Amino acid sequence: MQLEALVRNVLPPQAFEMQATLSNGARADCVLRLPPPTGLVAVDAKFPLENYHRMLDPEADDASRALAQKQFRADVKKHVEDIARKYIVPGETAEGAVMFVPAEAVFAEIHAYHPEVVEYAIARRVWIVSPTTLMAVLNTARAVLKDVETRRQVHVIREALARLGQDFRRFEERMKKLADHIRLAHQDAEDVQTSSRRIAQQFQRIEAAQLEGDAPAANVVRLPEERRPGG
């Protein structure tokens, strides 16, 4: 569970598989899917802790602790051998596999007091990691995956930029046409306004002329009509 939580928090889903079965029938707790030339990296989390706990038992005597320490060293060495045998498959996996130690204290115990086990693991191409060091490995793997994906998408980015350039040129041409239409429409509007003013002025002159023509008729004194005979 600890291994899965660490991996899921760092890597994208397509970059790993939990409980993956290899071609030899061995089932790894996790497989990291890294780009070539690394390829598949199996991670084992089934670390033997029984004798480690016996080493730290406060009720145990010195002889029991010494025996437990010896057995712990043998357990780790055997575990390294099992990982190398099951999870390093030529032509399928990477040239090495990972042994996940679930606690920093256990990792420190191995490196501080059992250097021969560490050397044996290196010779068998098994990398011993703790939660902290595994996090560093996963972050490195994520950076590699991101770099590979970026390089893989370079041609896509270039094609998208080319299409964007074409679209922008068409947009610029259409904007120029729109600006010309707006400018012509504005000119047409001004011409219409000028014509409207001229028509209004013509109506004003016509009205003024009518008023001037009607003024004398208004001042004529009409004489009474002669009475007709018999009227």
How confident is the chain (231 residues) per 10-residue block, as mean pLDDT?
A: 92 93 95 88 93 88 90 94 95 93 92 92 94 91 81 65 67 69 72 76 74 53 51 49
The rounded distance, in Å, linking the Cα atoms of 67 and 70 is 5
Residue 222 belongs to some domain of the structure: no
Non-local CB neighbours of 142 within 8 Å, separated by 6+ positions: 10, 11, 12, 15
Residues 117 and 144 in one domain: yes
Residues 97 and 78 in one domain: yes
Residue 101 belongs to some domain of the structure: yes
> CA distances (Å), 115 to each of 48, 73, 100, 120, in order?
18, 10, 17, 9
Residues 126 and 198 in one domain: no
Residue 228 belongs to some domain of the structure: no
Residues 92 and 180 in one domain: no
**Structure tokens that stand for 144 in this block:** 């590699």
Residues 95 and 198 in one domain: no
Non-local CB neighbours of 229 within 8 Å, separated by 6+ positions: none
The rounded distance, in Å, linking the Cα atoms of 194 and 200 is 10
Per-residue pLDDT, 221: 47
Residues 51 and 129 in one domain: yes
Contact between residue 43 and residue 32 where contact means Cβ atoms under 8 Å apart: yes
Closest CA to 32 of 46, 18, 22, 45: 18
Number of domains the chain contains? 2
Per-residue pLDDT, 183: 73
Residues 132 and 170 in one domain: no
**Structure tokens that stand for 161 in this block:** 């930029």
Residue 203 belongs to some domain of the structure: yes
Per-residue pLDDT, 192: 73
Q: Is the pTM of this model over 0.75?
A: no
Per-residue pLDDT, 5: 93
Q: Give the CATH number of the domain where residue 102 resides.
A: 3.40.1350
Closest CA to 76 of 95, 99, 55: 99
Residues 102 and 142 in one domain: yes
Q: Can you give the residue range of the structural domain that contains 177?
A: 160-210
- 75-85 in b/e form (b: 16+ CB < 10 A) is bbbebbeebbe
Residue 12 belongs to some domain of the structure: yes
Residues 165 and 146 in one domain: no
DSSP element (H, E) containing 85: helix 62-87
Angle between helix axes 104-113 and 115-123 (nearest 10 degrees) is 100
Helix (H/G/I), strand (E/B), else coil: 177: helix
Residue 72 belongs to some domain of the structure: yes
Residue 218 belongs to some domain of the structure: no
Per-residue pLDDT, 74: 94
Residues 146 and 166 in one domain: no
Residues 53 and 129 in one domain: yes
Per-residue pLDDT, 101: 94
Residues 177 and 116 in one domain: no
